[in-house]
Each structure stands twice: as structure tokens, then as C-alpha cells.
Amino acid sequence: MVRDTAVLLDEKRVFEPKNEILERAHVKNWEEEIEKGKNLEKYWSEKAEQFEWFQKWDKVLDDDNKPFYKWFTGGKINLAYNAVDRWIETEKRNQVAILYINERGEEKKITYYELYIQVNKLANALKNLGVRKGDTVSTYMPMCPELLIALLACTKIGAIHSVVYSGLSVGAFVDRINDAKAKVLFTADGTYRRGKIIDLKAIADEAILQCPTIETIVVVNHTGIPIQISELSGREIFYERLVDGEPAYCEPEWMDAEDPLFILYTSGSTGKPKGVLHTTAGYMVGVATTLRNIFDIHDNDLWWCTGDIGWITGHSYVIYGPLLLGTTTVVYEGAPDYPDPGVWWKIVEKYGVTKFYTAPTAIRHLMRFGTRYTDLYNLESLRILGTVGEPINPEAWMWYYQNVGKEKCPIMDTWWQTETGMHLISPLPVTPLKPGSATLPFPGIDADVVDEEGNPVPMGKGGYLVIKKPWPAMFRTLYKDEDRFLDVYWKEYSGCIYKAGDMVRKDEDGYFWIQGRSDDVLKIAGHRIGSAEVESAFVGHPAVAEAAVIGKSDPIKGEVIKAFIILREGYELKTQLIEDLKNHVRYELGPVAVLGEIVQVDKLPKTRSGKIMRRILRAQEMGEDLGDTSTLEE
Ligand code: 6R9
């Protein structure tokens, strides 16, 4: 959903950093830091020095074979070792690493030492299951400590993890697991969602029938609901049984800097999800540096990122970033408004959260309750706030700033993607802020706005967002699909520049105002989902002959799906069928696919070669000019 530029152009407010923020900040002068970032290799090698390397790198950036950039080549390192083991010999040994809280108000605290032991045990158990360096392990888990432990255990032994978001359903699950050829699957008996327990195991059981590569299913007893486990099949085992009796030490695998770390599937313009591949050292350096400098992480911070580990936000900023910095990371399982819309603020007060990072959709949702809940709790502990996932409208920004941050916490509006691995455009705490703008590229990041031909556009005019120089946490390819990697991201413009897929405008101060996707990717409540995936779910229903979907603007979720469908003969779009279709799409894709409206049509706008022109439907929907219709079939 592209934002209305006219409204944004009117946004002139600027918020300068407060003194307390300036005094504490790791980076006190953002202009100077941006200057430093211009020397890419020096800048990033200094950041990399802070980690423990088994063997130091020979070269910071190898750009011999663009866009297959390599970082820290020759270096040997283990990310789990740096995120966990490294702290055991320090005063952080008994500090809480993971603070798990759920919607029932239950909590679990796991110290760095305890985490170390648990990761080691599971790492050894995985080895016993035959998992080796380079093998793939998938998870379909709630936000719970075992998920973090599982991912860290993979990382420790060099297995590649591939997380499937627990809000995705059977169809999406099967595609992802089979593409990654996962050997082991971690799942759980269930997850808490608004007072109910969703039986994840049942969904996994059904999906797994279509996943031939899975040799072992590890089941975490998380909610305690009775479940079917068929140990007799030899394929299923309870997590506790698996780790029981394993040795408490596991030698970390010496990984090459460029060894794969994880695959994370995300939606593109076609129906097939993209397996975004990240590698070890560059990712590590990128996420730790951005988190440290953007959220100004210090030793006594309590960090809470509400993003789910099923998305990149959770990978980079619930697990890896915070643990690499030795901070305490809150892992919350639940919704923002259950049991009531004060639940998050209650947690902030109870534990003294200092840095809080969430999505604009959640803010817009909570904003409806005015100050009733934000006033009920003491939010004084908060120092820096953040947002991610979609553009934040100035109104929501102001509500967040005034009522959550009490006008003393700067808001870090961080623009980035699954592909970028780390924040690329974001303020630092000392950057003057403008509500609704992600402000400026992070030091070392060369972002720009170009037109269709790749020429820079004049100030104030909208265009396509591109990144012109490599960055350490960049994805290295699409898993088993190098051609698509090159086609989608690198071929549009000459000179090997990265095409992000977003529309953006730069103002007179060089500030970036992200306007939304330029492709057929939807952002529903911050969750990325492809139009084509939804359409293919629709046509999987016996009543539907053809379908086209677009994003329809929604005051809370940012956008929801509007579907145009052609029914097969003998079907009528009555209430019952609408319900059936909604359930069907939900079954295929999960609750992320929020359907706003389904309308029946006789015809869909198509090109002469038969491609659906969603652009025409969008223009029609907005009452706009249809634009170039020369390729439209009769
Ligand atoms: C981290 C994440 C990426 C897409 C991206 C853009 C949108 C993310 C944003 C933002 C405006 C921000 N997006 N952050 N738009 N302002 N601060 O969300 O990754 O799921 O891959 O989505 O999200 O459209 O292209 P991912």
C-alpha cells in the first residue's frame, strides 16, 4: 500500500535528541559516524574486532564476483560461541539471558550459564541424531525458550536452521520444509493465543505427511496439553527425552565466515516463497553493530523486541543481536491486547524494560485505547523505542512518542528486510527525528532513490529504493535459486545495485520516507505475504476458477487482502461460501492472511500474455487513473 506523499510532505516536525540520550549514547555524533562509515572495510573490520575469532579474516570485503559479495574471508568463527559461551567467563555468567513471559503472566528466566548448558546438551543430541554441519533443521514452534535453544544448538554445530513461523499453516509449512530439505523438525504441543491453546502439533502432523525428508520430529512439551506422540514410529521424540543425559559440553564447530547460517523464507512477487540465505560472520557483525548503536545497548539494559522469531526481526533482534551483546532479551508469547490492552505496559513496568521495539500495526491497535492503559502503568524505565515492518504514520508515531515514551524516548523507525538481515535505514538515538521518516542510512550504507532507468531522482520526488554498496549482513543468495536472486534483486539497473522493492522519497535534508512496496508483496500487520501466494490458495478451492488479490488500506493492519474472484459454474458467492473461502485461505496460509473483502467478478484485467495486472485493480480501487493500459488485453 503506497502512502499518500502529499500528506507526508506536510510533516515538518523535528525532534532533537534530549540531553540524557546524548550523554549515554555510544555514538554521540551521527554526522561523524556517517563519515567514518564511508571507509567500508575499516568501519566494519573495527566492529568485527569485538568478537572472538578462532582465526582472523584475511580480507574484510571480497567483491571479485559481484553481487556474490563475501565478508571476512579466511576468518573462522562460531556465532553461538560468541552469543553464549563467550559470556560464561565474564560477570555475565549468572545474568539472565532469556526472560520468557507469556500471556498468562508466567515467566521463565534462563541465565547465560544455564543457556550454555542447554545449548550444549541439545547440540550433542542433534549430533546423535545424525545432524552434521551443513544439514538443515526446521522449526515450527511458539515463542518459547526451547526455540532459541534449538537455533543456537544448530549454530553451534554448523547446522543450517530454517524457521517456519507458527502462524503459518499447512500449505506454507510444506513448501518451506520441502524446499529446505530439513532432516529434523522441532515443534511443540501448542502455543498460547488469546486464552486458547493452538495445537501446533496437529498442524505439524498433518503437514509432515507431505514432508519426506524429515527423519526426526522433536516435540517440546510447552503447554502441557495431552498430545499424540508416536515414539513407536521411531520418528518422534520428546525434547526432554532427547537431551536427557547428554554431555554438558559441546565443542563449537569452527565455521568459515561465509558458511551458511540460516535460511528464512519470505514472500516475493511469485507464488513460490524465497529461501533467503544468510551466512555467518557478516550477519553476526551487522546485527550486533546495528542493535548496539541504534538502540544504544548498555550492560544494564532490558531489551524487548516483540517480533516473532518466525520472521527476520526475531532472528536478528530477539535472538542473535541481543545475545551477541550480552544483554537480556525478553521473549514474549502472546498478543498485545490479551488479557487486556495494558498487558505490554504491565510487563514494561514489572520488569523495567528499557528498550522496546515493535511494529506500527501494534501501536495503531493500542492507540485506539487512548491513554487509558499507558497511564495505568509506570513506563519511566523506557529509554529508547523502535518500530519495524511497515511505514509508521505520523499520528501513530506521535501517540507512541507522547504516551509510551513520555516525550523523552527517541523512536528508531528502522527500515530493513529479510534480505538485508540488519537495519539499513534508521536514526541513531542522536539523530534529529521526523515522525514517519526512517531518517538516514546507517553508517556504511549507501542508499538512494532512483527512477525506472536507475537515474537518481530529484529531491522530494518519489522513486525506487536501492542500495549501492554491499553491507555485511546482506543475504548471499536465494537457496537453490541463484537465477532468481540475480533477476529479482540485481539485474534491474546497471552497476550491480540492490533493488529493495520499496518506493521511497528523500526530502531536502536527505531523510528517507518509505512509502510501501513497489511489487506485489503485501504487508499485513507487518507480516510479509505475496499476492500470488494468496491467489494460489484461492484457486485451490473448488469454487474458484481465477483470483487476483490486492492490498486494501486498513487503519490498523496497514493493509488487508481484497480478493477479486471468478467462480466456477454452479457456485454463488453467498455468506456460506465466503466463510468457506476465508477458512480455506486461512488453512493454507495461516492467520497472517487477513481477508478484508471478497468480490465476485466476471473478468480480471490481464496482459495479452495472461498475467494478472493487479496494478489496474489497485488503481480502480483507489479511484485513480489506470495508467498505461497498452498491454491490457481486450
Ligand atoms: C524487517 C522486515 C520487508 C519490507 C520492506 C518494507 C517494509 C520494513 C519498514 C518498512 C517502512 C519501515 N518495512 N521496515 N517500511 N518503514 N521502518 O519487516 O522484513 O518481513 O522482509 O519485510 O517491510 O516494505 O521492504 P520483511
Residue 311 alpha carbon, nearest atom of ligand 1: 20
- Cα–Cα distance, 531 to 430 (Å, whole number): 38
- Please tell me the residue having the least CA distance from ligand 1 atom 1: 417
| Ligand 1 neighbourhood includes 266 CB (under 6 angstroms) | yes
384 lies in some domain: no
Give the confidence band of 2 by pLDDT, cuts at 50, 70, 90.
Answer: low
Residue 426 alpha carbon, nearest atom of ligand 1: 17
Q: Is the pLDDT of residue 232 over 60?
A: no
21 lies in some domain: no
- The residues facing 544 across adjacent strands are 567
- Cα–Cα distance, 295 to 356 (Å, whole number): 9
The C-alpha cell at 211 is: 514432508
- Total domains in the chain come to 1
| Number of Cβ atoms within 10 Å of the Cβ of 36 | 15
- Cα–Cα distance, 598 to 611 (Å, whole number): 20
Strand order from edge to edge, sheet including 512-517 = 447-450, 462-467, 498-506, 512-517
Q: Is the pLDDT of residue 214 over 70?
A: yes
pLDDT, tens digit, 9 for 90 and up, residues 534-571: 999 999 999 999 999 999 999 999 999 999 999 999 99
Ligand 1 geometric centre to CA of 415 (Å) = 6
Ligand 1 geometric centre to CA of 316 (Å) = 14
577 lies in some domain: yes
Q: Which residues contact 12 (CB under 8 A, 6 or more apart)?
A: 434
pLDDT, tens digit, 9 for 90 and up, residues 478-519: 999 999 999 999 999 988 999 999 999 999 999 999 999 999
| Ligand 1 neighbourhood includes 312 CB (under 6 angstroms) | yes
| Number of Cβ atoms within 10 Å of the Cβ of 128 | 9
Give the confidence band of 149 by pLDDT, cuts at 50, 70, 90.
Answer: very high
How many degrees, rounded to 5, is the angle at CA 592 between CA 363 and CA 405?
15
- Cα–Cα distance, 123 to 161 (Å, whole number): 13
How far from the centroid of its chain's Cα atoms is residue 29's Cα?
29
Ligand 1 pocket test, pick from 465, 489, 498, 502 with the greatest ligand atom count within 8 Å of Cβ, gives 502
Residues 131-142: what's their mean pLDDT?
98
Q: Is the pLDDT of residue 1 over 60?
A: no
611 lies in some domain: yes
pLDDT, tens digit, 9 for 90 and up, residues 588-622: 888 888 899 999 999 999 888 778 889 899 998 88
578 lies in some domain: yes
- Cα–Cα distance, 214 to 165 (Å, whole number): 17
Phi, psi of 174 (to 5 degrees): -60, -45
With a pLDDT cut of 90, the percent of the chain lying above it is 87
Q: Write out the DSSP string of 277-336.
A: EEEHHHHHHHHHHHHHHHTT--TT-EEEE---TTSHHHIIIIIIHHHHTT-EEEEEES-T
Give the confidence band of 229 by pLDDT, cuts at 50, 70, 90.
Answer: confident
Q: What is the pLDDT of residue 249?
A: 98
130 lies in some domain: no
Residue 150 Ramachandran class (φ > 0 left, ψ -120 to 50 alpha, else beta): alpha
Residue 181 Ramachandran class (φ > 0 left, ψ -120 to 50 alpha, else beta): left
Q: Is the pLDDT of residue 360 over 60?
A: yes
| Ligand 1 neighbourhood includes 310 CB (under 6 angstroms) | no
Residues 50-66: what's their mean pLDDT?
98
What pTM, to 2 d.p., does this model score? 0.94
Contact 263, 162 (CB under 8 A): yes
With a pLDDT cut of 70, the percent of the chain lying above it is 98
| Ligand 1 neighbourhood includes 123 CB (under 6 angstroms) | no
Residues 405-418: what's their mean pLDDT?
98
Contact 328, 322 (CB under 8 A): yes
Q: Is the pLDDT of residue 4 over 80?
A: no
- Cα–Cα distance, 590 to 587 (Å, whole number): 6
Give the confidence band of 9 by pLDDT, cuts at 50, 70, 90.
Answer: low
Ligand 1 geometric centre to CA of 564 (Å) = 26
Instruction: Give the residue with greater pLDDT, 7 vs 92.
Output: 92
Ligand 1 geometric centre to CA of 514 (Å) = 9
Q: Is the pLDDT of residue 371 over 70?
A: yes
Residue 600 is part of a domain; what is its CATH number? 3.30.300.30
- Cα–Cα distance, 270 to 521 (Å, whole number): 9
Can you give the residue range of the structural domain that contains 567?
A: 525-622
Residue 528 alpha carbon, nearest atom of ligand 1: 20
- Cα–Cα distance, 440 to 30 (Å, whole number): 10
Instruction: Give the residue with greater pLDDT, 7 vs 226.
Output: 226
The C-alpha cell at 509 is: 535534508
- Cα–Cα distance, 17 to 399 (Å, whole number): 18
> Looking at residue 574, what DSSP letter applies?
-
464 lies in some domain: no
Q: What is the pLDDT of residue 487?
A: 96
Contact 30, 293 (CB under 8 A): no
- Cα–Cα distance, 577 to 581 (Å, whole number): 6
Q: What is the pLDDT of residue 5?
A: 55
Contact 347, 340 (CB under 8 A): no
Ligand 1 geometric centre to CA of 390 (Å) = 5
550 lies in some domain: yes
- Please tell me the residue having the least CA distance from ligand 1 atom 6: 390
Burial of 8 (0-12, 13-18, 19+ CB in 10 A): buried
Q: Which residues contact 233 (CB under 8 A, 6 or more apart)?
A: none
Ligand 1 geometric centre to CA of 610 (Å) = 30
| ipTM for the complex shown | 1.00
How many degrees, rounded to 5, is the angle at CA 283 between CA 184 and CA 512?
125
Q: What is the pLDDT of residue 388?
A: 97
**Strand intervals (E) in 470-557:** 477-478, 498-506, 512-517, 521-524, 527-530, 544-554
The C-alpha cell at 26 is: 555510544
Q: What is the pLDDT of residue 581?
A: 96
